[in-house]
Structure 1
Amino acid sequence: MQRLVAILSLSLASLLGLACDPLEPTPAELDAATEDRAQAFEQRDTDPDALPTTPELATPERVDVDIDPGDNQACVDCHPAAAQTWTGSLHQRAWIEPAFQTSYAREPLAFCRTCHVPRADPEHEPPAQLAALGVDCVSCHVRDDVVHTGLGEDGGSPKALAGHRVVRSADFGETACASCHQFEFPRKAHRAPGTLMQKTMLEHERSEWSELDCADCHFPKREDTGGRDHGMSVSRDPELLRASLHAAVTRVDADTLRFELEPVGVGHRFPTGDLFRRLALSVEARDHAGRVIEVERRYLARHFDAEVDGHGYIGEAPDDRLSGPASVSLSLARADQAAELRWQVSYQRVDSRDHAHPERSQLAGEVVLARGVITP
């Protein structure tokens, strides 16, 4: 199976891998819990309502700040392998990550706090302990003091469960992600009601990989532990990004280069997530001395009008991010004078976008996905 790729805003829901009760159980309590779970599963065979497996999962946990952040430590203690990969991940660093903090300094909104530190009160700045946890185990796996997770390879076998009640759901891998990876623009953003600021889930539903859920690719199974990797490197993993795109460029006539682009194993638009992410295509014409005599660029991204319309809304132009194979041509007026044409495709995380001059936009990060040289 090809590995799906995503590229999230930073974004945000930690999946799969079990969490624990706040108090670490003794071995005797674990044995008793295992027996209780075995009986519960037997009861489920005759009473489907005894142990629900497809709950309605709410949006990320929003709890009072006086709830002990140490709750998450109980999860870490019982699930060290998952915790090891979560530590230092974009989920754990969701609040403290430098690129987010730069954006947040410009717009310190409760809207942002809701997903970047979901256990804190969004109406106030988060306390240091919760800020350091970002999106933790409890944020995604605990609802009403009950642990939720996916079905797992064991299909919910009692031998794999102990220490706390666990509700398993076939759609957990998508449902837990949706609230922070697909949402509307905040109020006063001059967008028509229903306009999505991020729409990764919708993109996934329309992709050829829709039968898989987010966790199948973004939380791959670890061979050493049998559990799921919670590292979530995605948009910060250059090797993974480069493997996600096939690019070929040919000179179709004297002044035109054609880019043939195809995402590889990507279950949504490429790039996805933050609305400022984009693919940057460029061609440089250089003379025999190596001097740049002309540059042409094209950005594959979500595009928005620069001004509000008659209703006070900012409209969205056609979205040309990749959802499948695409052909894009760039033309240069002075290509016939060039000794060589240098082309490049880059994945860019934009911090601040310049609508009038997109090439002047401030970048939070860039990864060159492919490049080459064409000579006459």
Structure 2
Amino acid sequence: MLALLACHPALDRPADTCASCHAPESEAWRASLHATADRTPAFAEALRRAQDPWCHTCHLPGTGVGCASCHGPAGRTCEQCHQFDLPGTAVASQDTAREHAASSFASTPCTGCHDPHLAPGAHDAERVRAALSVDVRGTEAVVTSHGVGHALPTGDPFRRLVLEVCADLACRRVIDVHTLERALRESPEGWSVRNDSRVPPPVEGPDSTVRFAVAEGRAWRLWYRYTDPRHREVAESLLVDGGIVRSSR
């Protein structure tokens, strides 16, 4: 009994306390974005702009998202920080848990796909590449998600997939840009969703598709952009690129 109590310290103690009994999990957590959620450049920039202590509800100062955030006595789970409304509104800032509940993966827990301690999510570019496919033929683009139990992208509304169509195979000259995003609008009446052009959550089977028209070019490339476009430094990852198949018409 004493050993059991020693391995379950008070929840207000630092996350490092857990390492004495849970070394592998603690090591994975230390390398995660959860561990640095209170001090990444993207968060620092967002906090500088917002000047709102509300952000620290999940991005705990000195801890980030620590052990107690997910292993607390109330069974606090992923949706506590991945499903919430903008303060004073009924407009979701993050809508991931609701997307998941409405998808064909509703019976699969978040940890069925996401490592619960390393938790790289969309920051694992290889995993995102494996989870989507892009087909551009003539003037139509088709983006499909595979085995993703929520919209793609999900999370903060400034996360975007950006498809660039280029006039040349080397993509030196971009002639068309399409953004897949959940865009919000602020007005005197409050916040609202301006448009949602993302790949939607799948509702029948594991895949989901979005189609849209593009200019006819020679090549394309798809970016994942993680930060607000107003930020001084835009964090992004080139996911995939390819040539455009000419229309048969």
Query: Structure 2 length as normaliser, TM-score?
Result: 0.84
Task: Name the counterpart of 1:284.
Answer: 166
Report if aligned partners of 1:198, 1:274 keep a CA contact under 8 Å in 2. yes
| Alpha-carbon offset, residue 82 of structure 1 | 0.7
Report how many residues are paired. 234
| Alpha-carbon offset, residue 107 of structure 1 | 1.8
**Which of 102, 109, 112 does residue 213 from structure 1 map onto?**
109
Report if aligned partners of 2:16, 2:26 keep a CA contact under 8 Å in 1. no
Q: Deviations over 1:134-187 (max 9, x none)?
A: 2111232132xxxx7xxxxxxxxxxxxxxxxxxxxxxx5xx5111111111023
Residues 100/326 of structure 1: CA separation in 2 closer, same or farther (3 Å cut): same
The whole-number CA distance in structure 1 between the counterparts of 2:168 and 2:70 is 52
The structure with the largest alpha-carbon Rg is 1
Report if aligned partners of 2:157, 2:184 keep a CA contact under 8 Å in 1. no
Residues 291/74 of structure 1: CA separation in 2 closer, same or farther (3 Å cut): closer
**Which of 187, 201, 209 does residue 308 from structure 1 map onto?**
187
Report if aligned partners of 1:245, 1:369 keep a CA contact under 8 Å in 2. no
Q: Does 1:93 align with 2:93?
A: no
Amino acid at match of 1:367: S
| Alpha-carbon offset, residue 68 of structure 1 | 4.3
The whole-number CA distance in structure 2 between the counterparts of 1:195 and 1:79 is 38
Report if aligned partners of 2:171, 2:220 keep a CA contact under 8 Å in 1. no
Task: Name the counterpart of 2:66.
Answer: 136
**Which of 129, 136, 144 does residue 242 from structure 1 map onto?**
129
The whole-number CA distance in structure 2 between the counterparts of 1:291 and 1:178 is 41
Task: Name the counterpart of 1:318.
Answer: 195
**Which of 283, 289, 296 does residue 176 from structure 2 map onto?**
296
| Alpha-carbon offset, residue 215 of structure 1 | 1.2
Q: Does 1:184 align with 2:184?
A: no
Task: Name the counterpart of 1:348.
Answer: 225
The whole-number CA distance in structure 2 between the counterparts of 1:78 and 1:104 is 34
Q: Deviations over 1:324-369 (max 9, x none)?
A: 212121025xx6xxxxx1211211113334xxxxxxx765322222
Aligned to 2:79, what secondary structure does the other structure show? Answer: helix
Task: Name the counterpart of 1:116.
Answer: 59
Amino acid at match of 1:345: L
Task: Name the counterpart of 1:222.
Answer: none
Aligned to 2:84, what secondary structure does the other structure show? Answer: strand
Task: Name the counterpart of 1:121.
Answer: none
Task: Name the counterpart of 1:329.
Answer: 213
Aligned to 1:138, what secondary structure does the other structure show? Answer: helix
Amino acid at match of 2:41: P
Report if aligned partners of 1:279, 1:300 keep a CA contact under 8 Å in 2. yes
Q: Which runs of 5+ in 2 are unaligned?
A: 1-5, 201-207
Task: Name the counterpart of 2:100.
Answer: 204
Question: Once superposed, which parts of structure 1, at least 4 consecutive aligned residues long, lie more than 4 Å away?
Answer: none
Report if aligned partners of 1:280, 1:300 keep a CA contact under 8 Å in 2. yes
Q: Deviations over 1:81-109 (max 9, x none)?
A: 11111112111111111211111122231
RMSD: 2.6
| Alpha-carbon offset, residue 314 of structure 1 | 3.6
The whole-number CA distance in structure 2 between the counterparts of 1:116 and 1:195 is 20
Residues 362/203 of structure 1: CA separation in 2 closer, same or farther (3 Å cut): farther
Residues 278/328 of structure 1: CA separation in 2 closer, same or farther (3 Å cut): same
Q: How does 1:150-169 map to 2 (within 5 A)?
A: none
The whole-number CA distance in structure 1 between the counterparts of 2:172 and 2:85 is 46
Residues 68/344 of structure 1: CA separation in 2 closer, same or farther (3 Å cut): closer
Report if aligned partners of 1:349, 1:363 keep a CA contact under 8 Å in 2. no
Amino acid at match of 2:72: V
Amino acid at match of 2:237: V
Report if aligned partners of 1:351, 1:363 keep a CA contact under 8 Å in 2. no
Residues 327/362 of structure 1: CA separation in 2 closer, same or farther (3 Å cut): farther
Report if aligned partners of 1:278, 1:299 keep a CA contact under 8 Å in 2. yes
The whole-number CA distance in structure 2 between the counterparts of 1:374 and 1:239 is 22
Task: Name the counterpart of 2:205.
Answer: none
Aligned to 1:271, what secondary structure does the other structure show? Answer: coil
The whole-number CA distance in structure 1 between the counterparts of 2:235 and 2:172 is 26
Aligned to 1:350, what secondary structure does the other structure show? Answer: coil
| Alpha-carbon offset, residue 313 of structure 1 | 2.3
Task: Name the counterpart of 1:273.
Answer: 155
Residues 279/138 of structure 1: CA separation in 2 closer, same or farther (3 Å cut): same
Report if aligned partners of 2:135, 2:141 keep a CA contact under 8 Å in 1. yes
**Which of 240, 243, 249 does residue 373 from structure 1 map onto?**
243
